[in-house]
């Protein structure tokens, strides 16, 4: 009598798939496809400007919180000063972001999107916003709140106060 293969986990590449059994939901796979499609249109627009996703992240937060300090941005993005300096330099040199010194501490660098930076960010966000709105529209009334709670739960507990400071949890 032959023994059936034992699947250690759902990702076991040696497992035998029963064609009649429904495949289990693969949340990580769904995240992959959702993220791929979410960033795809923006990636194409960024590439035309010689930018990448790091530039998009900086533009997002600088537009979300005008006057944000470089130190706060480093804390949010969790990247090195060197990485941020390269991306920020490109955004400043191309007229998307401007830096100002702090009013009380001249060592502080405050970041603001220029009109060009705000316009480009709106263009980048338009397809992402419509994708999100369409997905929420397909859910039952309580669905949006559940999705938002799910995303908050995915964030490290030590960073949840930051979500509140950025007002990303106001809809909850």
Structure tokens at 11: 């990702």
Lookup result for tokens 């809809």: 171
Confidence (pLDDT) at 24? 58
For the chain, strand residue ranges (E) read 68-69, 97-101, 109-113
The pTM of the full predicted model, rounded to 2 decimals, is: 0.80
Quote the percentage of the chain above a pLDDT of 90: 74
- Token look-up 């009598």 returns 1
Percentage of the chain exceeding pLDDT 70: 85
Please state which CATH number belongs to domain 27-138: 1.10.10.10
The residue ranges of every structural domain in the chain are 27-138, 140-172
Spatial CB neighbours of 104, under 8 Å, sequence gap ≥ 6: none
Question: What are the pLDDT digits (tens) for 56-67?
Answer: 999 999 999 999
Rounded distance, CA 159 to CA 75, Å?
Answer: 10
pLDDT score recorded for residue 2: 47
| Each residue's pLDDT tens digit, 80-126 | 999 999 999 999 999 999 999 988 988 899 999 999 999 999 999 99
């Amino acid at each position: 009598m032959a023994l059936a293969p034992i699947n250690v986990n759902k990702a076991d590449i040696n497992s035998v798939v029963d064609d009649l059994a429904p495949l289990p939901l693969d949340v990580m796979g769904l995240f992959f496809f959702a993220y791929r499609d979410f960033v795809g249109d923006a990636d194409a627009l960024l590439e035309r400007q010689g930018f990448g996703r790091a530039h998009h992240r900086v533009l997002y937060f600088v537009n979300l919180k005008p006057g944000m300090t470089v130190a706060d941005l480093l804390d949010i993005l969790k990247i090195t000063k060197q990485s941020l300096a390269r991306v920020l330099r490109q955004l400043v040199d191309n007229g998307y972001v401007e830096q100002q010194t702090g009013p009380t501490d001249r060592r502080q660098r405050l970041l603001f999107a220029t009109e060009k930076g705000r316009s480009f960010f709106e263009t980048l966000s338009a397809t992402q916003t419509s994708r999100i709105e369409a997905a929420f529209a397909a859910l039952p009334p309580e669905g949006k709140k559940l999705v938002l709670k799910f995303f908050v739960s995915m964030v490290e507990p030590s960073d949840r106060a930051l979500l509140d400071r950025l007002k990303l949890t106001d809809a909850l």
